[in-house]
Structure 1
């Protein structure tokens, strides 16, 4: 296989406007120019909890990706060659990123100040999505479940959080082998509109995504035009890079509306298991609500997949919890944690979060009659090995600080259909989770 070097688009043109966003989505936009990113020094600190780059950001600082916006990221965020052989080479180098004697791959990042000149009209963008998708079946219709409100702070608007593993394009199209999903349904030229339609429909204040491999050419510029600050942290050795036709590594991305929150602090974490660095990552950011000055943390992560790795995930969860305890001063700062944990509620990592000193609760338990049971599934797919229906995705929150106002219901088996996910009417094998929070009245100001 011929190795081709991936290089991320690094700067939006000065004349980037709303019409360019629509062209970008259609694949005809000249909005990016490519050049080699400048060489930057890597900073990393090895410890029992793995690599944790944690640098304060001035309030209101612009962020673009790992390595910008107040976050310093080392070689874990490096640009990598495409293809199996070069990916193996990078995998061999990745565990030694703290050894300055070994040459490091070039850093994978973007420049600061990536916001478009003009904002994007979300209604126009939604209409554009619907126009492109008019020949596809209608999207899954899901309603919100309203919960009883009590002891809510009267000085703040609710905070809407969307959690979603959107399915990396390189994996969905070339590796995951969804045998019941038509190939045409996975075509990026239309699938991206389904993803954006879902985001535009629910218009979250905070958006936590996993398996993002079209960050630079799609999600960062488009969501920036919609008013979101964004941060991206790729996996050190993404499986997407084994695919010849890829768009770079996949990773976690965190977006929040600039009009509602300002960034106080930001950390990118390469998770550890038994004191060894792993290929899984997390982003943790401390935000201040502009309306109320309340401070809280939000985190996004994606733990190791596949059965047989339960103890590994448990160790990763332990590492993440240790980092969260440190960042939140032992839950002195309220916390929301979103992610694809790749773990059923019966696994140790789930129990760790339930029993943590951070006093976390899983929001989607509140869909059940007793408030104690998770939904029957958050992902449902069919591969050659068989049908896979599991609950793996969660939104955790500090139950002493937040109250859940409403939750987006999950679709029924009939709505999903016999061929399961992904499909022509849904772009991922994971369902999006949407939760609306309010601060409790008795919460002290941070």
Structure 2
């Protein structure tokens, strides 16, 4: 089961299937207090923080109809006051694991009618569902068929940026944003395979042979083809603001918590570096939002 900020689970992402609970976040800027150099500290999302609400979304395990109405997500208004900021605006940020079509198997979703699992039905239902949130910024995980969503979301006033997972994986992470509200300034891609130790030419054959049998070999354990994307935005209604939105999907296996921790640590370090670069370039301190599918539950080290 996946937990994330304002997100819907993979099971709900079937869209034709009614879901249990969900939560999204409608944010009143400023969301986080500015970070004052040189003591930069990024807010790491965790269940103990009062301005975050982390909820699970548990799919119902009974046979359902494609026509069964979906529950309406509840948006939580988040307020943070700080005298440093003289302008306040609000925007709606939503994070959603839409379940890549490549991972849709009838054996994995026996409670879902087979007609709901087909791409033609799912794609139309998902697009309708995504637009119904009326999000100003929409972060998606397990996003495959990116061109399909890009073309249709553009007609609704959204621009987007996307990173595909490395290796042979077809899905990735995307950020869609309303072009009338935001302009993307810069972006950076994170490939967690960069954590894999480099192999020297003389040890290449030995490392490959070892990796065939040893899952504790870092060259095997850390190579999970997971990614993240960070984008910096200018808000037209609040010119004094620059925000960073980071969207990620960490490795899924609950028995490999060390891999998730390594990925989370790398993500935070890259976020700090990205924020410092923006401070130097624009002389403004960006506000940071970190969302995604962390494949973790409250109490896991990734969220603490």
Which TM class, normalised by the smaller chain length?
0.5 to 0.7
1:50-199 → structure 2 map (5 Å cutoff): 136-146=67-77, 155-173=87-105, 177-199=108-130
| Alignment partners' CA distance in 1, 2:132 and 2:179 | 19
Instruction: After superposition, give the CA deviation of every residue in 1:135-192 in whole Å (9 maximum; x if it has no partner).
Output: 7111213344456775596734312111000000121146x72222221121221212
Give 2:187's match in structure 1, choosing from 266, 271, 288: 266
SS in 1 for 2:226: strand
CA distance in 1, matches of 2:299, 2:154: 38
CA contact (8 A) 1:212 1:251 kept: yes
- How far apart are 1:269 and its partner, in Å? 1.1
CA contact (8 A) 2:190 2:229 kept: yes
Secondary structure, aligned partner of 1:328: helix
| Count of residues in correspondence between the two structures | 207
> 2:303 is matched with which residue?
350
Whole-Å Cα distance in 1 between the matches of residues 134 and 288 of structure 2? Answer: 21
1:188-224 per-position Cα deviation (integer Å, ceiling 9, x unaligned): 21212221222221111111001111111x2010111
The residue correspondences of 1:289-328 to structure 2 (distance < 5 A) are 289-293=235-239, 294-328=241-275
Q: Check whether the contact 1:233–1:283 (CA below 8 A) recurs between aligned residues.
A: yes
- Quick one: structure 1 residues 235 and 186, their matched pair in 2 at CA, closer, same or farther if it must change by over 3 Å? same
CA change 1:301–1:135 in 2 (3 A) is closer
Q: Which residue of 1 aligns with 2:160?
A: 230
The answer for the alignment partner of 1:282 in structure 2 is 228
SS of 2:225's equivalent in the other structure is strand
- Secondary structure of the corresponding residue to residue 190 of structure 1: helix
Measured after TM superposition, the shift of residue 319 of structure 1 is: 0.6
CA distance in 2, matches of 1:295, 1:148: 17
* C-alpha displacement of 1:297: 0.5
1:336 corresponds to which of 261, 275, 289? 289
Partner of 1:250: 171
Contact kept, 8 Å, 1:173 with 1:187, in 2: the verdict is: no
Q: Say whether the 8 Å CA contact 1:273–1:312 is kept in structure 2.
A: no
Q: CA 1:137–1:301 in structure 2 vs 1: closer, same or farther (change >3 Å)?
A: same
Instruction: For structure 2, list consecutive stretches of 5 or more residues without a partner in the other structure.
Output: 1-64, 198-221, 280-284
Which of 182, 191, 210 aligns to 2:141? It is 210
Aligned equivalents of 2:70 and 2:223: distance in 1?
Answer: 39
Please, what TM-score do these two structures have when normalized by structure 2?
0.62
State yes or no: 1:221 paired with 2:164: no
Q: Distance in 1 between matches of 2:133 and 2:127?
A: 10
For residues 33-52 of structure 1, the aligned pairs below 5 Å read none
Distance in structure 1 (CA, Å) of the matches to 2:246 and 2:77: 24
CA deviation vs aligned residue, 1:300-350 (integer Å, no higher than 9, x gap): 110101221111100011111110010012994210011001111222221
